[in-house]
Amino acid sequence: MPTNPDTLYAVFKYALYVWRHQHYVRMACWRERLFWRGLIHDWQKWLPREFFPYAVFFGKHNPRDKTGYYKPTDTGSRSFDAAWKHHVHHGDHHWQHWCVATEGELKVHEMPRAAIVEMLCDWDGAGRAQNATTSVREWFDINKHKMRFAPLTAYCIENMLSEPKWNRKRAGGLPC
């Protein structure tokens, strides 16, 4: 358990962020009628093996670019890298969950519709928790070149993001 005041502040700040993020994702999932996914979204972030490495890493660094995106691999923090890997492998709403490196090549599997919708809700919730003002559509257009999707998954994402609800500017902040 951390005892350094700076680390304790980072832990508190990260706990508040996770709570806000989960709240916004839950509301977005419930609007999409994904009740169970909204309820359990990112539950593993509260596990010590993820929570403390994330809190310490984000307490010391701000790896996000102006859109809120960050490259979560090879950060120089072995504990954070391990926590991130655990997080992605326990949440099928992450596009990285569906990427498998085999024999020197990257195989990208199709995502189920529910995982795609939760991913969009996750992007919306992260943006709201970070007080972003861009829409989910705008965020995706800026960052999609950093992601890998199977063809049908990419088509579904583009199709879903053409709906007006994903094109609204976000105000961020509570209440939703």
* All structural domains of the chain with their residue ranges: 5-166
Prediction pTM value: 0.85
Eight-state DSSP code of residue 108: E
Interatomic CA distance for residues 149 and 108, integer angstroms: 6
Residue with tokens 């609800």: 165
**Whole-Å CA distances, 11 to 20, 59, 81:** 14, 8, 18
Tell me the pLDDT of the chain (176 aa) as tens digits: 556 667 788 888 889 999 999 999 999 999 999 999 999 999 999 999 999 998 988 877 665 556 555 556 666 778 888 999 999 999 999 999 999 988 888 899 999 999 999 999 999 998 888 888 888 999 899 889 989 999 999 999 999 999 988 887 765 544 43
Sign of the C-alpha dihedral, residues 69, 71, 76, 81? positive
- Yes or no: say if 125 and 91 are a contact pair by the CB < 8 Å rule: no
